């Protein structure tokens, strides 16, 4: 009888993504995805919506900087409207800023 050589099973690697503001790498599930759609920029909690996406960590400083500067404009290749900025501020994590 010939034995088949089997490789030991390794855990499946988790996808890594980078925060567009602070450039820290982390698991895809721990970062929040923002996606450009026809209706503007939306928060994508599922991480599966169609459209160009960018990731932000849960640091409120990153969210502040993303909303107040042109970082998201460049990452999403669009221009954020005032309503987009308002919606992103409402979706901002509510941690105390240190």
CATH assignment at residue 62: 3.30.1230.10
| Residue 3 resides in a domain | no
- Give Cα 74 to chain centroid, integer Å: 14
pLDDT tens digits, one per residue of 36-90 = 999 999 999 999 999 999 999 999 999 999 999 999 999 999 999 999 999 999 9
**What are the E-state strand segments in the chain?**
16-18, 25-27, 32-37, 40-44, 52-56
pLDDT at 96 over 80: no
Q: Exposed e or buried b for every residue in 61-90, given b needs 16+ CB within 10 A?
A: ebbebbbeeebbeebbebebeeebeebbee
Per-residue model confidence (pLDDT) at position 4: 72
| Residue 96 resides in a domain | no
pLDDT tens digits, one per residue of 11-42 = 889 999 999 999 999 999 999 999 999 999 99
- Give the domain range for residue 86: 16-91
Query: Count of domains in the chain?
Result: 1
**pLDDT higher for 4 or 56?**
56
Per-residue model confidence (pLDDT) at position 1: 64
């Amino acid at each position: 009888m010939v034995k088949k050589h089997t490789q030991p099973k390794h855990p499946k690697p988790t996808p890594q993504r980078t925060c567009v503001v602070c450039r820290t790498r982390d698991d895809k599930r721990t970062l929040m995805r923002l996606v450009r759609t026809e209706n503007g920029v939306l928060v994508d909690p599922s991480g599966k919506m169609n459209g160009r996406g960018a990731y932000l960590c849960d640091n409120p400083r990153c969210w502040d900087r993303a909303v107040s500067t042109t970082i998201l404009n460049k990452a999403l290749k669009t221009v954020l409207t005032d309503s987009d900025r308002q919606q992103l501020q409402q979706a901002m994590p509510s941690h105390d800023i240190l």
